[in-house]
Amino acid sequence: MTDTPSAPEAASPAADRLSDPAFITALRRQMLKFATLQLSNPELAEDAVQEALIGAMKNAHSFAGQAAFKTWVFAILKNKIADTLRQRQRLVEASSLLHADEEDEDFTELFATHGHWQYDERPQAWGDPEGAVHNQHFWRVFEACLDHLPGQQARLFMMREFVEMETPEICRTLDITVSNLNVSLHRARLRLRECLEDRWFLSGEQAC
Amino acid sequence: MLNCYDATRLMSEKLDRPLGRLEKLNLRLHLFICKSCGHFDDHMQHLRLLTRSYAKGQGAAAVPPPDESESNVP
């Protein structure tokens, strides 16, 4: 009884669903988007996604379902991205210098001269941030807001919040000062917060 | 007394390092009188949770695959 090749009960439905091409296609698309945002290089992103998927597939049988598999595969992808970012530190450093000017912006649109919120830019209470997690329209808005960040801000924000690198490691990897990093993260968060508020939380929380 | 811009800077840095005692005190005083910055503080927490959900593939869950694999077992 040990060598039943296709015992109908033992073949887990999870494994079936993981070999479902539609699931893998959708997952792959999402991973690619995720990796491209962070590496801003389609080829490196493609490589990272490919390696993560292959790595995850080896253990696919041990997952109880698509959700668990997805979490696992994204964890692997995050590690691949962190490795890639560390490897090409010099490259990033060089390109970040090119973009330094574009990011030397002021925030007078948000703040008046004395540093208080402009009247119509004051942050408002958000409706249902937990509910947004399960809304596909929200994630489209989220990605659009990320796309609007200037390059270097986006990269630093993602190293900190997606890849969850601690600030000393980011500073070491990119050879920037902690005050530069703090300024960039602050700006990225100001922009993202405003974008999400304008385009989602105060606009009825649905795609129009 | 902090202005709102400086307060948002501290609320951002709070996510990356522990604030000093004086920074904490100043921020608390500011938040006591400024409702807008209170919202901002909440939003920073939400932003972190949302971003980390995204990094766990939640955004992918938002694009459901056509689910036909359950009904037809070949």
pLDDT, averaged across chain A: 79
Number of domains chain B contains: 1
Of A60-64, A69-73, A97-101, A144-148, minimum mean pLDDT range? A97-101
- The distance of B31 to chain A (nearest Cα, Å) reads 13
Q: Which residues of chain B approach chain A closer than 8 Å at the C-beta?
A: 3-6, 8-9, 12-13, 15-17, 36-37, 39-40, 42-44, 46-66, 68-70, 73
Residue B68 is assigned to a structural domain of this protein: no
| Chain A 24-43, residues with CB within 8 Å of chain B CB atoms | 25-27, 29-31, 33-34
Does A182 have pLDDT greater than 90? Answer: yes
Residue B3 is assigned to a structural domain of this protein: yes
Say which residue the tokens 């991973």 belong to: A31
Give the total residue count for chain A: 208
Residue B19 is assigned to a structural domain of this protein: yes
Backbone angles phi, psi at A58, to 5 degrees: -60, -30
Does A56 have pLDDT greater than 90? Answer: no
C-alpha to C-alpha distance for A98 and B32, rounded to whole angstroms: 41
Do the Cβ atoms of B36 and A78 come within 8 Å?
no
Residue B17 is assigned to a structural domain of this protein: yes
H-assigned helices in chain B: 4-13, 21-33, 35-55, 58-61
Topology classification of domain A12-87:
Rna Polymerase Sigma Factor; Chain: A (1.10.1740)
User: Where is pLDDT greater, at A118 or A90?
Assistant: A118
pLDDT of residue A92: 54
Whole-number Cα distances in Å, B43 to A189, A190, B47: 10, 10, 6
pLDDT of residue A106: 67
The answer to whether ipTM exceeds 0.95 is no
With cut-offs at 50, 70 and 90, classify the pLDDT of residue A60. Answer: confident
Nearest CB among B3, B36, B62 relative to A136 is that of B62
Q: Which of A24-28, A41-45, A142-146, A183-187 has the highest mean pLDDT?
A: A183-187
Average pLDDT over residues A102-110: 68
pLDDT of residue B12: 97
pLDDT of residue B53: 86
Residue B31 is assigned to a structural domain of this protein: yes
Residue B2 is assigned to a structural domain of this protein: yes
Do the Cβ atoms of B56 and A74 come within 8 Å?
yes
Does A179 have pLDDT greater than 70? Answer: yes
Residue B24 is assigned to a structural domain of this protein: yes
Does A204 have pLDDT greater than 80? Answer: no
Residue B71 is assigned to a structural domain of this protein: no
Average pLDDT over residues A119-144: 90
pLDDT of residue A113: 80
Q: Does domain A89-208 correspond to CATH entry 1.20.140?
A: yes
Name which of B4, B13, B42 to mutate to probe chain A: the one with the most chain A Cβ atoms within 10 A of its Cβ.
B4
- In chain A, domain spans: 12-87, 89-208
pLDDT digits (tens, 9 = 90+) for B10-68: 999 999 999 999 999 999 999 999 999 999 999 999 999 999 888 877 765 444 444 43
Answer yes or no: are the C-beta atoms of A145 and A152 closer than 8 Å.
Answer: no
Domain extent for B25: 1-43
pLDDT of residue A10: 41
H-assigned helices in chain A: 13-18, 21-39, 42-58, 66-87, 89-98, 129-132, 136-147, 151-161, 167-174, 178-196
